[in-house]
C-alpha cells in the first residue's frame, strides 16, 4: 500500500503573520525560515495523525483488495472517494462504477464498502488498484480545529528556538509534550 499526494493544499492552516505574532517578531528578516518551519510543522502533525488539515488530493495504491467487504481508508477527515480504478493485464486502469461501492465518511477511519458485489481483481502483480481521495477539514485555515493550529505554532516556535542539529532520540530532538497534548485528541486509536 502506498499513499501519494496528487494535489497539495492551496494554503497553510496558519500564516507567517500568525507565527510572527506568536514569537513576537516585528521584522521580516526571517519570513522564509518561518514559512519553512510552518510547512514542516504542518507536515509533521499531518503525518503523526494521518490527517489532512487543508483540503488536498491523494492516490492510494494497493496490490490487491483486503479480505472482507470493506477497505479502511488511511487519511482523515476524508471528504470523498473521487475515483476507483483497477488495472487489467495490459496495465490499463479501468474505472470502477461508483454504484459498486459506498463510502462511509462517518466511520473513523473512513471506509469504502462494496455494495453486494465482488470487487474487480487487478490483473497486474503490483499497484493494480488506485483510489483517488480528497481529504481535509476545508479549503483554508478557518476550517482547521484551533488546537491543531496552535500545535503547529508551538512546534514551529520550538524548532525556531532549537536550530542546532541534534541527534534523533535526544532531548533536543523531542517534540514538546505540550504539542503532543494538543494533538492527542485527534489521534486514531486502534484496538
The CATH number for 2-53+140-186, chosen from 3.30.310, 1.10.10, 1.10.3470, 1.10.3230, is 1.10.3230
133-49-167 Cα angle (round to 5): 125
Residue, of 167 and 153, whose pLDDT is higher:
153
**d(C-alpha 83, C-alpha 185), whole Å:** 30
Q: By three-state DSSP, how is residue 179 classified? A: helix
DSSP 186: G
CA atoms within 13 A on the CB side of 56: 23
Percentage of the chain lying above the pLDDT 70 cut: 94
Residue 26 has a pLDDT of 95
- Region(s) of the chain under CATH 1.10.3230: 2-53+140-186
pLDDT in tens, 90-127: 999 999 999 999 999 999 899 999 998 899 999 999 99
pLDDT in tens, 126-142: 999 999 999 999 999 99
pTM, full prediction:
0.87
With cell 517578531, the residue in question is 25
Residue 167 has a pLDDT of 58
Report cis status (omega within 30 of 0) of the bond before 77: yes
Amino acid at each position: 500500500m502506498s499513499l501519494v499526494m496528487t494535489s497539495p493544499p492551496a494554503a497553510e492552516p496558519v500564516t507567517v503573520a500568525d507565527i510572527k505574532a506568536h514569537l513576537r517578531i516585528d521584522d521580516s528578516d526571517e519570513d522564509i525560515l518561518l514559512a519553512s518551519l510552518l510547512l514542516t510543522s504542518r507536515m509533521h502533525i499531518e503525518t503523526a495523525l494521518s490527517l489532512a488539515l487543508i483540503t488536498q488530493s491523494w492516490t492510494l495504491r494497493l496490490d490487491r483488495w483486503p479480505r472482507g467487504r470493506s477497505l479502511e481508508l488511511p487519511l482523515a477527515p476524508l471528504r470523498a472517494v473521487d475515483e476507483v480504478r483497477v488495472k487489467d493485464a495490459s496495465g490499463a486502469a479501468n474505472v470502477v462504477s461508483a454504484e459498486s461501492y459506498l463510502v462511509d465518511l462517518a466511520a473513523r477511519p473512513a471506509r469504502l464498502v462494496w455494495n453486494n458485489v465482488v470487487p474487480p481483481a487487478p490483473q497486474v502483480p503490483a499497484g493494480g488498484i488506485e483510489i483517488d481521495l480528497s481529504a481535509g477539514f476545508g479549503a483554508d485555515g478557518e476550517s482547521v480545529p484551533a488546537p491543531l493550529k496552535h500545535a503547529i505554532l508551538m512546534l514551529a516556535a520550538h524548532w525556531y528556538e532549537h536550530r542546532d542539529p541534534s541527534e534523533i532520540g535526544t532531548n533536543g530532538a523531542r517534540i514538546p509534550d505540550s504539542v503532543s497534548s494538543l494533538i492527542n485528541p485527534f489521534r486514531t486509536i486502534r484496538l
